[in-house]
Amino acid sequence: MSTGGLGGLNKSPNGVVFGVVQLQLPNVVTPTDLAVQTQCIVDLVAKARRNLPTMDLVVFPEYSLHGLSMDTNPAIMCSLDGPEIAAFRKACVDNSIWGCFSIMELNPGGMPYNTGVVIDAEGAIKLYYRKLHPWVPVEPWEPGNVGIPTCVGPKGCILALIICHDGMFPECARECAYKGAEIMIRTAGYTAPIREPWRYTNRSNAFCNLMATVNVCMCGSDGTFDSMGEGMIVNYDGEVLAHGTTGRPNEIITAEIRPDLVREARATWGVENNPYQLGHRGYVAVSGGARDCPYTFMTDMVAGKYEVPWAETVVEKDGKSCGFAAPTRTYKGEETPPDIPK
């Protein structure tokens, strides 16, 4: 296992150092609990800075603010202009560090969104994402409707963010790469039964897209659920650079990523340059490769008629088994992201 530069202790001129926080799984029921947990995250931003002065970006897991209760109580939902995001922005400024944070976002028109934000060291929100694929039937969140954005991150790297179950869909990671992401962050609240799929999808998402992946789950127990931590930072060739295997809550797993080497691989690899070759099939045989779409699932999805052959046998098609009433609203499609507070 490579740890290039000893996990970021010896930072290279072209390196970007990430820290992923295996945050202790909280219980959040009241607005007071929410305020206490907000301060806990703020304190851990400061710990991250003290922990490693070379760190460029600290990543907190999905559910780090709200815990795993799936509570949709409006009193503990957040907004981009609310006190929680304001506290995270100030923490990034105070500690001169970028941060990636998770909130459950109030949605007056329906169920809350499961939202992630990336904030720069000056306190500006640089990336805003709503989870595309809630973990059904367990999660009640509104499906994301702002696509998968990218942003320019520390030292000019291109970042994307997906959340938890999104990473089980290879299409999500491919979309990140297709939009130029050199580093994909994946935050999660997964518990121990998902440990092995978590490990191999973090690696396959990296290799299949020549893209580094930065991944972390919640950690520890809230008395009901046991989250696993499993912070993983994976290089573009699928090699694990750092892996939190101790299950120790609030441990920060660190590694340096070289975006310049991602760019070099994407430019110079012949064999296994998969993101390019997907749209240029057989370029040895035909000039420029075949540029058509041979995949029925893609064309059917675009046409609004995606359906697997075994759809009639699928048992779970709403959230009733997990205590949620069957929905009556239909999906409205992509929309313009909300105004980002200055």
What residues are annotated to the active site?
62, 131, 164
Name every residue whose Cβ is closer than 8 Å to that of residue 323 and which is 6 or more positions away in sequence. none
What DSSP line would sit under 188-248, residue for residue?
E--BGGGHHHHHHHHHHHHHTTT-EEEEEE-EEE-SS-EEE---EEE-TTS-EEEE--S--
Q: What is the DSSP letter of 167?
A: G
Cα four-point dihedral sign 28, 185, 217, 146: positive
Distance CA 104, CA 66 (A): 7
Instruction: Provide the 3-class DSSP secondary structure of residue 171.
Output: helix
For residue 84 the two structure tokens come to 């929680």
75 burial level (CB within 10 Å; 0-12, 13-18, 19+): exposed
